[in-house]
A and B are shown apart, each in its own frame.
Chain A
Amino acid sequence: MLQVEQLCFLDWGPLSFSIEPGECLGISGDSGSGKSLLLRAIADLDAHEGEVLLDGEGCVDHPGAAWRGRVAMLAAESRWWFDSVRAHFPEDFDGSILRGLGFSGKDVMGWDVSRLSAGEKQRLALARLLAREPGALLLDEPTANLDPGATGLVEQVVSVYREQQQVPVVWVGHDEQQLRRVANSALCMQGKKLKKSW
């Protein structure tokens, strides 16, 4: 279970909510309303007050890197720093989720990052994140660059991971219909506070 208690960052908050294992919380709101900042605070990338707990263990009980290894954030725009795709993945990555994301197999691992399209980068960024087997997912508009087909694949892969591993997921997005598909409940960021949508 992911618990966010009295979280404050900059002049947002206090924000509180919790997500049961295997559940997905959708968060919507206008651009600039602070949805990404909320994910960054939960991932402890920005200074904040208040507590975030995963399965009862607090963010401050772990070193920053260890916390982010468990509570993993997927940024809206993916970044790549090595030349080859493979170098961004853990060495023991078996490639099983690649097929679910629309790649024909492991040969994409041998590609150069420079030949990837925006959509391929976004799907591989999700694969790269799941390969590290995090205990919670913070997804910032994970399908923003994707066509409807690929969007469906990403939704499917996330929900399979969420149910099999029983991890809590936060899904930030604009598309109300999509949030209805992927999330069990939804909040809306408005005036630096979270309001219940449904």
Chain B
Amino acid sequence: MNIIELEPWELALAGALVVALASCTIMAGLGVAKPLLIAAVRMVLQLSLIGLVLRELLDANNPWWVGMIALVMLAFAGREVSARQKYRLRGIWGYGIGTGAMFVSSFAVSIFGLAAIVRADPWWDPRYAIPVLGMLLGNTMTAVALSIDRLTASAWQSRETIEARLMLGESGRQAVSELVREALRSGLIPVINSMAVAGVVSLPGMMTGQILAGNPPGEAVRYQILIWLLIAAGCGFGMLIAVRMTADRLFDERDRLRLDRFCH
């Protein structure tokens, strides 16, 4: 069974819908037409580009190329995480914590999934490695960005309360323990919600793609289950690392609240 090919003019029809939406938002004075159109054009260009890259990557079948593409993806994800922060850590930390956390969690979980579960030959086969890593990074990025943003914003809001707790002799970690818990919860909730409705309300993109491509649904479902479990683990561990490191940067070695380390 072959997939029905999509011609560029057919995609343009779908594009016309977005243009129509943009005109509506202009008329309603929402001010989101420009970012909407820019994001749509970016998406088209980026996906076309990665299509070319993937074709080369699959042909070349070289682990170094796979590793390099993975690092490029990580660099973009890291930039995105730091761009989504209202209060950003100054200097290298602002970029480093999110990127480091995603590197540790997404890469470790991907490698575990590829080498121990999928067991492609070789395990870094780009046909498996790049999509798996991409899905993990995409979700981890959202969770990490959300949880760090939540933590720093709430610390900013309740700085006087935090200092009141420090004045009673609590350590920095104690003084923000409730905020840390809330930040972790808020980061994990999108993942929990998505898993809760998977298959009932939403059919995840990867599974849909496999079915469209003519794979048996049972096979597609098993891959989707694997991906969701990996995503949950990757998001959770990534957030734990990122939120803990950010929380520790809120205080210095004397346990003083150091919001001056953040800019906004």
Residues of B159-184 contacting chain A, CB below 8 A: 160-161, 163-172, 174, 178
Across the interface, A45 reaches (CB within 8 A) one of B161, B163, B174, namely B163
> When chains A and B are docked, how far (Å) is the Cα of A70 from the Cα of B253?
18
Extra inter-chain contacts (4) besides given A45-B163, A68-B167, A68-B169, CB under 8 Å: A63-B254, A65-B255, A78-B164, A129-B168
Cα of A46 to Cα of B257 in the assembled complex, Å: 8
User: Is the Cβ of B172 less than 8 Å from the Cβ of A65?
Assistant: yes
Distance to closest chain B CB from A75 (angstroms):
6
Within 8 A of B (CB), among A49-89: 63-66, 68-70, 72-75, 77-81
Interface pair B171/A65, CB less than 8 Å apart: yes
Residue of A nearest to B178 (CB): A81
For A63, what are the chain B residues with a Cβ–Cβ distance below 8 Å? 171, 254-255
Chain B interface residues toward A at CB < 8 A: 158, 160-161, 163-172, 174, 178, 253-257
Kindly identify which residue among A46, A66, A74, A78 contacts B256, using a CB–CB cutoff of 8 Å: A46
CB–CB B166/A45 < 8 A: yes
- Which of B164, B171, B255, B257 counts the most chain A CB atoms within 10 A? B164
Q: Is the interface of A mostly helix, strand, loop or mixed?
A: loop
A74 to B163, CA, bound (A): 11
Instruction: List chain B residues, Cβ under 8 A from A47.
Output: 256
* A64–B168 touching, CB < 8 Å: no
A79 adjacent to B161 (CB under 8 Å): yes
CB of A123 closer than 8 Å to a CB of B: no
Which of A45, A70, A75, A128 counts the most B-chain CB atoms under 10 A from its CB?
A45
CA separation between A43 and B167, bound complex, in Å?
A: 7
| A132 within 8 A of partner (CB) | yes
| 15 sampled A-B residue pairs with Cβ under 8 A | A44-B254, A45-B163, A45-B257, A47-B256, A64-B166, A65-B166, A65-B171, A66-B169, A68-B167, A72-B167, A72-B169, A80-B161, A81-B165, A129-B167, A132-B169
Distance between Cα atoms of A70 and B160 in the complex (Å)? 20
Residues of A within 8 A of B161 (CB): 79-81
Q: Is A73's CB under 8 angstroms from B256's CB?
A: no
Evaluate contact between A45 and B256: CB separation under 8 angstroms.
yes
Tell me the minimal C-beta distance from A93 to chain B in angstroms: 12
Question: Which B residue's beta carbon lies closest to that of A66?
Answer: B169
User: Ordered nearest first, which 8 A-B pairs have the shortest CB separation?
Assistant: A69-B169, A64-B255, A79-B164, A64-B254, A65-B171, A79-B161, A73-B167, A68-B169
Q: Interface readout for A106-135 with B: 1 if CB under 8 Å, 0 if not?
A: 000000000000000000000011001010
Q: Which residues of A contact B255 (CB under 8 A)?
A: 63-65, 68
A132 to B178, CA, bound (A): 21
**CA of A43 to CA of B254, assembled, Å:** 11
Cβ-closest chain A residue relative to B179: A81
Q: How far is the CB of A59 from chain B (nearest CB, A)?
A: 9
CB atoms of B168 and A79 under 8 A apart: no
Interface string of A5-20 (1 = CB under 8 A from B): 0000000000000000
